[in-house]
Each structure stands twice: as structure tokens, then as C-alpha cells.
A and B are shown apart, each in its own frame.
Chain A
Amino acid sequence: AAGVIQSPRHLIKEKRETATLKCYPIPRHDTVYWYQQGPGQDPQFLISFYEKMQSDKGSIPDRFSAQQFSDYHSELNMSSLELGDSALYFCASSYGDYQETQYFGPGTRLLVL
């Protein structure tokens, strides 16, 4: 079965640079969630989209923005990167937005030097 696809899988950036993470949800899924997971930490919700509209926002820095496109893929844009942004970034998708199982992608490992 098709899974959530994330790209790139690994990314190395310098401080103050920008990064764009991409997420391709499972076919027919219309809801996308972004989570950040620091080393040894649990995933923390950043932002979500349902039918291309932002549905919720968590602890996402103002330096980050995201959107969901007409084909339901989503991009997380990160600017003015800081060392503390180094983490695993997961995208999850679901069909519908009410108590539907969220399926996670393999993640993008971002390292900021």
C-alpha cells in the first residue's frame, strides 16, 4: 500500500539559511499534519491542513510557514534556521479530519550547522 512520502530524507543547512520540506500524503488523503521530533523527544505538533486550508497551528515558530497545494501535497518552509531547528520532521496524513488514523511518513532529518 502507498505510504506518505517525504523529501528530502536528509538535509544539512547552515544557520540563517532556508529549507523546504515536502510531504506527499497517501492517495485520497485530504488532511496533512506536520510534527517536529527532537532527539529523544516525543513528536510535537506544528501545523495541519484540511482540504488545502490551515486547520490548526501548534508550536510552530513564525520563521516557519506551510501550505497545502491543490494536489494535497504540503510544503513546510523554514527560514532563518537556528541550531535548535535540528530535528526530525514528520508529516502525517489522514482521510478526513475527525478521529481518522494519522499515518506518518519516514521523516526528514534536518541538521543545522
Chain B
Amino acid sequence: GESVGLHLPTLSVQEGDNSIINCAYSNSASDYFIWYKQESGKGPQFIIDIRSNMDKRQGQRVTVLLNKTVKHLSLQIAATQPGDSAVYFCAENIPGGSEKLVFGKGTKLTVNP
């Protein structure tokens, strides 16, 4: 079936740098996307979401970009901190059914002090 996928399984950055985590989705009908952060042994934590009628949305230190033309989603984290170290998942909602989320393969972000 169709699913969301990530380009890189791991990403290592220096503290203070900006991080960019990418996600490619395959279902052009998807209209709602969410980024989650998951720390070891914990539940996914909501970071930011974006609807398909937008191409950019900003939060606190995070920005999500949506490129529907190439079906690409990215999460930018500014001034990455050690506490940002976690696995990041993008998830998509495909309309027509319930609001279940289809998760991509996570990217493990490691922030080096």
C-alpha cells in the first residue's frame, strides 16, 4: 500500500545548527500532515501540522514546508538543542476514510554538544 517514507534514517548535527528532516509521501490525495517527535520509550509528541492548502507553517523554532508538486514534506528545526535528540516521524492523513495516520519511517536525530 502507499505509505509515507523518509530519505534518511539518521541525522547528526551540532548543537546550535539548524536541522532539516525530510519526508516523501506517495499519496497525492493526502491533505493533512503532522510531524511527531518520539523519545525513547515514550509516545509520539505532536510538533507541528500543516494542511494541504498551505505550503509553509511556522512554530516555535520549527518550520514545516510542504511541496505538493513533488510530494515532499520537511521539518526544519532552528538552533538545534540536545533536547531535540529523538526520532522524528512524519504522518499523513488520506481523505476518504477515518482520520487514521499513516506514518513514515522515522529519522533519528542526534544532536552533538
Co-assembled chains A and B: yes
Given A43-B89, A99-B93, A106-B43, check contact A48 B106 (CB 8 Å): no
Query: What's the minimum C-beta distance from B109 to chain A, rounded to whole angstroms?
Result: 15
Interface centre among B41, B43, B45, B105 (most CB of A within 10 A): B43
B36 in complex: contacting residue of A4, A100, A104, CB < 8 Å: A104
Give the chain B neighbours of A107 by CB distance below 8 A.
41-43
29 A/B residue pairs, CB under 8 Å, sorted by A: A33-B99, A33-B100, A33-B101, A35-B101, A42-B103, A42-B106, A43-B44, A43-B89, A43-B103, A44-B103, A45-B100, A45-B102, A48-B98, A48-B99, A56-B97, A56-B98, A90-B43, A92-B44, A98-B99, A99-B32, A99-B99, A101-B46, A102-B46, A102-B99, A104-B44, A104-B45, A104-B46, A106-B42, A107-B41
Residues of chain A touching chain B, judged by Cβ–Cβ distance below 8 Å, are 4, 31, 33, 35, 42-45, 48, 50, 55-56, 58, 90, 92, 94, 97-107, 109
Shortest A76–chain B CB gap in Å is: 15
One digit per residue, 1 when the CB lies within 8 angstroms of any chain A CB and 0 when it does not, for chain B 52-68 equals 00000000000000000
B99 touches A94 (CB 8 A): yes
Q: Flag B75-110 by CB within 8 Å of A: 1 or 0 each.
A: 000000000000001000100011111111110000
Residues of A within 8 A of B100 (CB): 33, 45, 48, 56, 58
Which residue of chain A has the shortest Cβ distance to B42 in the bound complex? A106
A86 to B97, CA, bound (A): 28
B15 sits at the interface (CB 8 A): no
Q: Which residues of A contact B31 (CB under 8 A)?
A: 99
